[in-house]
A = this chain, B = another copy of it.
């Protein structure tokens, strides 16, 4: 005997009318877990569909193509990074300390979400969230797909702006400082991700070293 309640609760079987959006979420969960297990390239539409328990074409009822699935995952991840940055922005301390905390948070975030990080920042053919806007300042609609990356970057840049307004003498314009610090931390994260078996120096030392490098070099006292 099957559980009758399964028709309304379990993710198996056909959705009731008007509940298709819950299938969409199931697809995202399945796609994300496959990423973390097998990486981007090995995650196929058919595997995602299998895990959800539907046929492959069913995914196209909820997403235009494979990239749109990825883009939705990117936005989820960026959303969490934005929350993280926001919590740091709210801390009562100097912009320099906030910068330090943001740098460390960024690196640890990347290393804690390898699948998503690779998806967003390291994949040639992946949808590239920031690029979609065409110009950096277009963050008017925070829910527009692909916009959250630009928002996170702007939060980093703001720290340099505040530093400059506080009288600090930056070696470059704030936006350039933000780019350089982001790039340096990104280099650390992507290297550790791409070559996990390489005998790197102590990971903690590398993180501290990179944050020190950028803060001392870009936000001098």
Chain A interfacial positions (CB closer than 8 Å to B) = 39-41, 118, 121-125, 128, 130-131, 134-136, 171-173, 175-176, 179-180, 182-188, 190-191, 194-195, 197-202, 205-206, 209-210, 212-214, 216-218
Q: How many copies does the complex hold?
A: 2
Which among B136, B202, B218 is the interface contact of A213 at CB below 8 angstroms?
Answer: B218
Interface SS, A side: helix
A209 to B216, CA, bound (A): 13
Question: Across the interface, do A124 and B125 meet the contact criterion of CB distance under 8 Å?
Answer: no
Question: Across the interface, do B198 and A184 meet the contact criterion of CB distance under 8 Å?
Answer: no
A70 to B175, CA, bound (A): 37
Q: Which residue of B lies closest to A133 (CB)?
A: B198
Question: Across the interface, do B217 and A176 meet the contact criterion of CB distance under 8 Å?
Answer: no
